[in-house]
């Protein structure tokens, strides 16, 4: 819940027109934070015993978690847009 409150505060701050000049800097800040978080995640995984042995099973599981939700999203969006959004292509 904390992160949602922080994001909502960010949305309000983003409406302030004076900050629009710093749009690019804000994008860099997002990227920088993202890379730090991913690096930290890597450190945590690297320190974990037997992580690299588990990586092969995680890879297959990850592929499954990519494939099934993506295929179902495509199927559902196709059906919904065929029914509710007549004008396409």
Partner 1 sequence: MIVFLTILSLVSGLVYGYFDVESSFISAITQNTHIVLYILMFSVGISIGMYDGIVQKIREYHIKIFIIPIGIIIGSLLGGIICSMIVKMPVGHGTAIASGLGWYSLSGATISKLVSAEAGSIAFLSNLMREIFSFFIIPFLAVHFNYYTCIAPAGATSEDTTLPVMLKYTNEETVVLSVLNGVICSFCVPILISFCLNIK
**Cβ neighbours, 10 Å, residue 54:** 13
Work out whether 4 is an interface residue with partner 1 (CB under 8 A).
yes
Helix residue ranges per DSSP H, 15-85 = 23-47, 51-84
Residue from 11, 18, 24, 56 in contact with partner 1 (CB under 8 A): 11
> Is the distance from CB of 46 to CB of 40 less than 8 angstroms?
no
**Cβ neighbours, 10 Å, residue 24:** 8
Instruction: Identify residues 21-40 at the interface with partner 1 (CB under 8 A).
Output: 23, 26-27, 29-31, 33-40
Work out whether 74 is an interface residue with partner 1 (CB under 8 A).
yes
Residue from 18, 24, 56, 84 in contact with partner 1 (CB under 8 A): 84
The residue to which tokens 């099973």 are assigned: 57
Binding site residues, partner 1, CB under 8 A = 1-4, 6-15, 19-20, 23, 26-27, 29-31, 33-48, 51-52, 54, 58-59, 61-66, 68-82, 84-85, 88-89
């Amino acid at each position: 819940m904390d992160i949602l409150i922080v994001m909502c505060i960010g949305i309000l701050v983003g409406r302030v027109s004076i900050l629009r000049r710093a749009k690019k800097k804000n994008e860099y800040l997002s990227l920088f934070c993202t890379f730090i978080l991913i690096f930290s995640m890597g450190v945590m995984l690297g320190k974990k015993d037997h992580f690299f042995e588990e990586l092969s099973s995680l890879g297959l599981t990850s592929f499954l978690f990519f494939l099934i939700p993506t295929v179902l999203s495509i199927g559902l969006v196709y059906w919904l847009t065929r029914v509710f959004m007549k004008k396409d292509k």
